[in-house]
Structure formats: structure tokens, C-alpha cells
Amino acid sequence: MRQLAIIPHPEAKITLFSWNGKYLIKLEKGSLEQTYKVSELDLTSEDDIHLLLDEEFVQAAVQRFKAMQQDLQAAFDRHGI
């Protein structure tokens, strides 16, 4: 796996990788992460990844991080952990 870029954003760490004919878009916030795999054949260049990572996409991912954290906390609470 080859790291291509770190894309600055104030709400999540975004790292772009290339691996096995795919671009991997990895978003991290605290202990949570989301990874999206996009075939290199679906894009004309690496620049297209930056187009995909518009503010609407990133804000949806940030909201998903909140839901993930709530789900994890609910599981802890259910089991008294």
C-alpha cells in the first residue's frame, strides 16, 4: 500500500492510498475510521479523488462518525462495560 496524500481537514484526518488497483480514502476521527475503496478504473486521475472529497461528502462522514460513536457507546452501556 502506498500513501499518496494527506488531505488537510479540520474535522477528520483524511489519507489517500493506492493499493491493488484501487484508491483507498481513509478518514479518521479519534479511535474511529472509515475507509472507502474506489477502483482506479472509475476515475481519470488522482485529482478526481479530490473532487469526490467535497464538503458535502466530508460532512456526511463526520455525521457518520457521530453515529458510530453513539452505536459503540450504546453497546458498552447495554453490557455494563
Q: What is the pLDDT of residues 3-37, one digit of tens each?
A: 999 999 999 999 999 999 999 999 999 999 999 99
- Please list, in sequence order, all residues whose beta carbon lies within 8 angstroms of the beta carbon of residue 61, skipping any fewer than 6 positions away: 12, 27, 34
Is residue 79 predicted with pLDDT exceeding 90?
yes
**Cβ–Cβ under 8 Å, residues 42 and 62:** no
Q: What is the pLDDT of residue 45?
A: 87
Radius of gyration over every alpha carbon of the chain, rounded to an integer in angstroms: 15
| 3-state secondary structure at position 70 | helix
- pLDDT at res. 36: 98
pLDDT digits (tens, 9 = 90+) for 31-64: 999 999 999 999 998 899 999 999 999 999 999 9
Query: What is the per-residue pLDDT for 46?
Result: 85
Beta-carbon neighbour count of residue 13 at 10 Å? 14
At 25, which helix (H) or strand (E)? strand 22-29
* Cα angle 15, 18, 16; round to 5: 15
